[in-house]
Amino acid sequence: ATPTAIMVGIGKGAENGILIKDAVSLELAQKVNAVVLDKTGTITEGKPVVTNSYWTDESDLLKQILVTIEKQSEHPLAEAVIKHFDDNNSIALDHFESITGKGVSATVAGKTYLVGNQKLLLERKIILSQMLIEKANQWSAESKTVIWFSDDTHAIAAIAIADKIKETSIEAIQQLKESGIAIYMLTGDNETTTASIAKKTGITNYKAEVLPEQKAVFIKQLQSEGKIVAMVGDGINDSTALAQADVSIAMGKGSDIAMDVAKMTIISSDLSKIPEAITLSKQTVATIK
Ligand code: ADP
Ligand code: MG
């Protein structure tokens, strides 16, 4: 496209809440035939709230330990836990450790506690009671994310966290599919929760329990099949995938790192801006012909 067409396109984008950093992305967006979407904060609101919890031991001390550990984490799920259980009594802990894509751990009075997904607990050979497993399965089937809290031998609690699908996500996904674009959803969340969200949003291609680097590998694979890939994400954990994609799109309400890496930002974090960006790209390129 001509420099003038590019300038006009970038200007129109800005007016519509689509910030475009470079000419290449604006020109390439119309060729995109695969869109990879992160789940949390991209398809969903990214405002998780605790809806249920089941404790094998209702002690206040254990709740304080949980909250104190989560206060060390920057994960949005941790924020939901703190909001729900915090009573402003903090506890001394040491050896805090973040386990990428799985959770966190810390030691309190010589005992190690874990907060994270079921996979993390199983890897550490923690014993899960039948009751907790039943609760967790039920909540996951309701699209909720379940996080687990354990000491060094037994699971203590399962906590259900809900994060609403954005009202505009379903229609935007439908619109992209109708224009012949393949849609993929990638998330670090578990299989059951992810399958439930996929069903509600009409997504048939998805992958759960994906680590941040694996998101980038997935995109590379699509590219090797000849696809022109757009990646849409909001988190620090999406930045390698954003860097790998042909067109990278960050959600404006997400992390600064995602916006730094991405060449486009949707200020409102609304997925319906993705088809708009593609249309804008088409108009921009059409100007030269
Ligand atoms: P995503 O943001 O796509 O869900 P993450 O890799 O950030 O992916 O997290 C994957 C999973 O790890 C979460 O769904 C959760 O089960 C667990 N997890 C990560 N950090 C925490 C934390 N601070 N507290 C509880 N669970 C966590
Ligand atoms: Mg996210």
Residue range 13-54, pLDDT digits in tens: 999 999 999 999 999 999 999 999 999 999 999 899 999 999
Query: Alpha-carbon distance 155 to 58, whole Å?
Result: 13
Alpha helices in 127-211 (DSSP H): 130-141, 169-178, 191-201
Distances (CA, A) of 85 to 54, 115, 220, 226: 13, 14, 41, 49
DSSP at 205: E
| Residues with catalytic roles | 38
- Which structure tokens are listed for 76? 């949005």
Indicate the residue type of 84: H
Number of H helices and E strands in the chain, helices first, is 12, 13
- Which structure tokens are listed for 54? 């089941």
Task: State pTM to two decimals.
Answer: 0.88
Distances (CA, A) of 218 to 177, 212, 213, 271: 19, 10, 9, 21
204-241 pLDDT, tens per residue?
Answer: 999 999 999 999 999 999 999 999 999 999 988 899 99
Per-residue pLDDT at 289: 53
Report the run of H or E that residue 275 belongs to, with start and end.
Answer: helix 273-286
Q: CB of 29 closer than 6 A to ligand 1?
A: no
Per-residue pLDDT at 75: 87
* Look-up of token digits 């904060």: 41
Ligand 2 centroid distance, CA of 39 (Å): 6
Indicate the residue type of 9: G
Residues (pLDDT < 50) of the chain are: none
Q: Of all protein residues, whose CA lies closest to atom 27 belonging to ligand 1?
A: 103
Per-residue pLDDT at 288: 57
Q: In terms of CATH, what superfamily is 3-46+165-286?
A: HAD superfamily/HAD-like (3.40.50.1000)
| Numbered ranges of CATH 3.40.50.1000 in the chain | 3-46+165-286
Q: CB of 233 closer than 6 A to ligand 1?
A: no
Q: CB of 78 closer than 6 A to ligand 1?
A: yes
What ipTM does this complex have? 0.94
Strands of the chain, DSSP E: 18-20, 34-38, 49-55, 94-99, 103-108, 111-116, 145-150, 155-162, 182-186, 205-207, 229-233, 247-251, 264-266
Per-residue pLDDT at 100: 87
CA 202 from chain centre, in angstroms, equals 17
Query: Alpha-carbon distance 261 to 215, whole Å?
Result: 15
| Numbered ranges of CATH 3.40.1110.10 in the chain | 49-162
Crossing angle for the helix pair 273-286 and 169-178, to the nearest 10 degrees: 40
Distances (CA, A) of 140 to 81, 124, 132, 144, 182: 17, 21, 12, 5, 26
CATH class of this structure's domain 49-162: alpha beta
